[in-house]
């Protein structure tokens, strides 16, 4: 493992434990050259999920792309990084557990919007505006009306 500080290629493992989900292993390491400590996460290798994009091209699922999209939607909102990582973990687990190895990007967007709706409504609208590509203010207002209606139905 290459040290992020001095790029030396050898380090020793100080501590190793599974993460809360049990799908990753967190390792605390110390560089054998500079002595600085850093953390790595090992992920259990699985069969990759292929995302079918809107233009019908295909690429492997990249959790960082999803996380970055959620981060943009939650910018300047009171949503913790842990919450967003939890959403990405849940979506990734759902994709891995499905029998389909190819998933349309639209399905991933729906999963993300469903989760964001419960976390932060402003972030949900931001994400939906990019995901659904609102053409005009009318489609934007329609989505807001649906959100308000669903909230009122939930309070009854």
In the chain, where the domains are located: 11-43, 50-155
Q: Which residues contact 4 (CB under 8 A, 6 or more apart)?
A: 38
Contact 39, 24 (CB under 8 A): no
pLDDT at 100: 84
State pLDDT tens for residues 99-110. Answer: 888 999 989 999
State pLDDT tens for residues 1-58. Answer: 899 999 999 999 999 998 877 778 999 999 999 999 999 988 876 678 999 998 999 9
pLDDT at 137: 74
d(CA 108, CA 100): 13
d(CA 96, CA 154): 31
State pLDDT tens for residues 112-151. Answer: 988 998 899 889 888 887 777 766 777 777 777 877 887 7
For CA atoms 138, 144, 147, 149, the dihedral sign is: negative
Contact 8, 32 (CB under 8 A): yes
pLDDT at 154: 67
d(CA 120, CA 126): 10
Q: pTM, whole model, 2 decimals?
A: 0.62
At 53, give phi and psi (nearest 5°).
Answer: -80, 170
Q: What is the DSSP letter of 84?
A: H
């Amino acid at each position: 493992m290459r040290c992020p500080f001095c790029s030396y290629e050898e380090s020793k493992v100080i501590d190793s434990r599974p993460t809360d989900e049990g799908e990753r292993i967190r390792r605390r390491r110390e560089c054998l050259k500079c002595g600085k400590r850093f953390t790595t996460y090992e992920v259990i290798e699985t069969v990759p999920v292929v995302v079918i994009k809107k233009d019908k091209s295909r690429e492997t699922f990249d959790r960082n792309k999803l996380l970055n999209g959620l981060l943009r939607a939650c910018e300047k909102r009171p949503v913790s990084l842990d919450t967003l990582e939890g959403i990405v973990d849940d979506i990734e687990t759902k994709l891995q557990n499905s029998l389909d190895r190819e998933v349309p990007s639209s399905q991933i967007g729906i999963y993300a919007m469903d989760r964001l709706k419960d976390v932060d409504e402003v972030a949900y609208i931001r994400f939906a505006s990019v995901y659904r590509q609102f053409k005009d203010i009318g489609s934007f207002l329609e989505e807001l009306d649906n959100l308000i209606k669903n909230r009122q139905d939930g309070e009854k």
